[in-house]
Structure 1
Amino acid sequence: MISIENLRQILNVKFFQARGLPEMLVLDILSKLPVKSLTRFKCVCKPWSSSFQTPLFITQHHHNHLTHDHLNLLVKRCDGKTLSDLSYFSQLSTEKGQNFSLKQSIHLPVFEMYYTHYVTVHGPHNGILCLECDANIICLWNPSTREFKVLPQSSIQRPPSAADTSFSGLGFGYDSQTDDYKVVRFIDNAFEYHCYGNSYYLETTYQVDLYSLKGNSWKEISDPIIDRGVGVRDTTLLDNYVNGFYYWLATAPQGYIILSFDMVNEMFSTLPLPEFDGGFEQCHLHLLNYNGLLGASVYPSEGTPKSFDLWVMNGFWTKQFSIESVPGVERPLGFWKNGELFLESSDNELVLFDPSTREFKNLGIHSYKEMQIVAYVESLVSIDGRSEHEEHVIRWTAEDEVG
């Protein structure tokens, strides 16, 4: 085991040269460091800078941090202190003993430029987040390398007879065969019919656009499942990415189903819902990643205290566990490392709940509107974008906020 002091000594070019350490050992040591340190070390020597950009090093670096469970935590929130009510991100400390204290806040002016006051986060995957605006602007963001990319607009034609076109859902994932990141977007085309001089929309057809980061372009996907009238629900908690597939809660002619998309084969398939009591008239359903499997958290839409059932899909749905009568909470936000559950309280506070001890910890984070938790592992993956500085992204520390 290398101590911190020894690591500081090793991270010196003269030390490497004097000891004659093999290059692979040097890179192995460097791959265990955070992105912030590697960014500084790029200027130490050209071979290091070049090595940090190779696929092998990028993969090894991400694997090391993933293996050691080095998670970073962002909270998308809105404090309601301004008229615009713009969303922003708060980064919480995940170091032992820090109790999720506020490290810094991040404001992305790109959303203000496009007149949007709400942003939904999809992903992350390999440290990359996909951000969807209510103005139908989509961005990719690597908060570790501080790289930001606004995706180009799709030029795919919509039916000329459509009276109204809207965007109803989005997904973001990774194609492991082509080493490509993809964005799936659903478009609803409503057709207008007339009855006794009054207009009304009678029929909706669906289109699916697919963006490729490698090609930096969109294409249309035709699929028989979509042609049969399956459409996704446009809400944050009803979608998630798990092991190469993106999942949405969807509507179909026969009722509610789960729609999945294979990022490699670019094909859709469907899954049934878990058989929970009450149905959607009385319950909410939250799709999530539970230890690499598709999970579904089901909880009552009304009333307090609330109970939460976790279902897991592993060939078929099984109820993993239930958390009974949790007082003062509104909805689950996601799991943490040791099975703890992030919750949003009835007072819009961020709470960490330990099911084994039934202990609550109020983390002192408040949001005027719904929060979203984003846990990600650092990554050096490039998205061929611009720096946060060029996009005028503003970061400020907790000390700055107090001051």
Structure 2
Amino acid sequence: MDDGETAPPAAKRRNQKKSAYYIPKELVREILVRLPVESLMRFSCVCKAWGSTISGDASFHRAHLRLQRPLLLVSPQTTAVYGGVHMKKMILYGWEDNQQGTSTPLVHARVRAPTLSSPFRMHDFAHCDGLVLLGSTEAIVRVINPATRSVLSLPWGGCGAMQLHQAFGLGQDPRSHAYKVARCFVTGDKHYKTKMKVFTIGIDHCWRQTMTDPPYPVAARRTATFFKGSLIWTIHESTLGSPAPGFLRFRLDKEDFVLMEPPPCYPRLDYAKSALADLRGELCLACGGGDMMTLDMWMCDNMENPQWDLRYKIDVPPHMPPDFSPIASFGDQIVFKEQYLRTGHYDLKTKTYKNVLWMEDLRCHNPISGKTKYKERHFDNIDVIPFVPSLIPV
């Protein structure tokens, strides 16, 4: 064929047809990163390249996480006896405001955890980038990704017999981007000492004890708040025997302890009746006002030199932390977890509060009872935490 001749019409059509099916890899990535986790789990089987990106690309996981819509993770908990052993059953549900009164999607199936005794309260859940630290009173600790349904059971921590005198935390090391579980516990027979052990997910095979011990005891079964690379624990004043000087901050990159100054509450901060939360990138401390008729919400965004700002005073008596605590912020609303198995919203514009979710009104399939509607007698506790579906592996 001469250079001046054009390709035959049939060959030209074949070339056009072949090029029509080509999609640049960059465009495929931009499409995939916007899809929900459930769809991506199916698409990972389409081809080897997609599977490698979806399952093993850390930069893709972080980009996908930034585009996901946050929701609430609701966990009704029941206690049953099997062969004389008390078992905690937990069911995890994703919940959004527009699902009120409708069927709630099941995020994770039943999780069983043996307890020491049914009256003991489990530690609260913790969430970081789609990973959830499950509440437990047992020696084994579990971290799960409810979106991918993967579960990691951490090994025995060797923390002695005083398992109830423990407090946990989950967060990400800002330097290595690894996720770490921290376990603060008490050891000793007569002279108690506070210790800390750390487990790095994907790296460690056993718990590591920190080089230095925590300088203050922390409140047992009160999960730490993760904020900007650190875990913030509430100091246990009763064990300390004197007023707490602040909050105990554990830096995940250096794995050391720093004292974080509290806000200038009047007359003084009651640590046992306070609650910490990460709200829109700021650390929030909720506590009773000086007259105990309002809930004060102090905000801080600087960890190195805390400058607390009394941002909100909410008129919601007689509710006070820890039974009434902020857990998340969506738009102009702050979500609170209440006692009596319910959650509510405080509208920052209208300055009004309303109950949003009562567990007795939650309609969803319950694999324990086989029913589609919970009744209060069917469970003994509820945990509600903010949650973002992600592909982060455990």
TM-score (norm 1): 0.74
The Cα shift of 1:118 comes to 5.3
Name the counterpart of 1:152: 155
Q: Is the 8 A contact 1:312 1:320 kept in 2?
A: yes
Distance apart, 1:208 and its partner CA? 1.2
Cα shift readout 1:329-352 (whole Å, capped 9, x = no counterpart): 851241331242333456433333
In 2, Cα distance between equivalents of 1:282 and 1:153 = 30
Where does residue 382 of structure 1 map in the other structure? 393
Q: Retained in 2: the 8 A contact 1:120–1:132?
A: yes
CA distance in 1, matches of 2:185, 2:111: 26
- Establish whether residue 131 from structure 1 lines up as the match of residue 134 from structure 2: yes
- Alignment partners' CA distance in 1, 2:158 and 2:271: 41
- Equivalent position SS for 1:49: helix
- How many residue pairs get aligned? The number is 343
Alpha-carbon offset, residue 204 of structure 1: 1.3
% same residue: 19
- 1:86–1:118 Cα contact (<8 Å) kept: no
Structure 2 matches for 1:83-162, cutoff 5 A? Answer: 86-94=88-96, 97-99=98-100, 101-105=102-106, 106-112=108-114, 119-154=122-157
SS in 2 for 1:261: strand
Q: Deviations over 1:336-373 (max 9, x none)?
A: 31242333456433333324321414323246545332
Provide the rounded CA distance (Å) in 2 between the counterparts of 1:122 and 1:113: 16
SS in 2 for 1:223: coil
TM-score normalised by the chain length of structure 2: 0.75
Report matched runs for 1:4-403 at 5 Å. Answer: 18-53=20-55, 54-65=57-68, 70-78=69-77, 86-94=88-96, 97-99=98-100, 101-105=102-106, 106-112=108-114, 119-154=122-157, 167-192=165-190, 203-213=191-201, 214-223=203-212, 226=214, 228=215, 230-236=216-222, 239-251=224-236, 252=240, 254-256=242-244, 257-277=246-266, 279=268, 284-299=273-288, 307-313=294-300, 314=302, 315-326=306-317, 330-345=323-338, 347-357=340-350, 358-366=352-360, 369-383=380-394
Tell me how far apart the structure 2 counterparts of residues 141 and 149 of structure 1 sit (CA, whole Å).
6
Provide the residue aligned with 1:200 in structure 2. Answer: none
Report the residue type matching 1:249 in the other structure. T
Query: Measured at CA, do residues 218 and 374 of structure 1 come closer, stay the same or move farther in structure 2, by a change above 3 Å?
Result: same
Q: What CA RMSD, in Å, does the superposition of the two structures yield over aligned residues? A: 3.4
- Contact in 2 for aligned 1:345/1:351 (Cα 8 Å): yes
Matches of 1:113 and 1:254, distance apart in 2: 32
Q: Which amino acid aligns with 2:137?
A: D
- Aligned amino acid, residue 356 of structure 2: N
- CA shift, 1:167, in A, is 3.8
Contact 1:287 1:294 in 2 (8 A): yes
What letter corresponds to residue 360 of structure 1 in structure 2?
K
Question: Is 2:233–2:248's contact at 8 Å kept on the other side of the alignment?
Answer: yes
Task: Identify unmatched segments of 5+ residues in structure 1.
Answer: 1-14, 193-202, 384-403
Question: What 5-or-longer segments of structure 2 have no aligned partner?
Answer: 1-16, 361-375
Letter in 2 for 1:142: N
Is the CA contact 2:247–2:262 (under 8 Å) kept in the aligned structure 1? yes
Q: Is the 8 A contact 2:73 2:95 kept in 1?
A: no
Instruction: Check whether the contact 1:91–1:102 (CA below 8 A) recurs between aligned residues.
Output: no
Against the structure 1 CA distance between its residues 124 and 348, is the aligned structure 2 distance closer, same or farther, given a 3 Å change threshold?
closer
Report the Cα offset of residue 100 of structure 1: 7.5
Q: How far did residue 113 of structure 1 move?
A: 8.7
Helix, strand or coil: the match of 2:359? strand
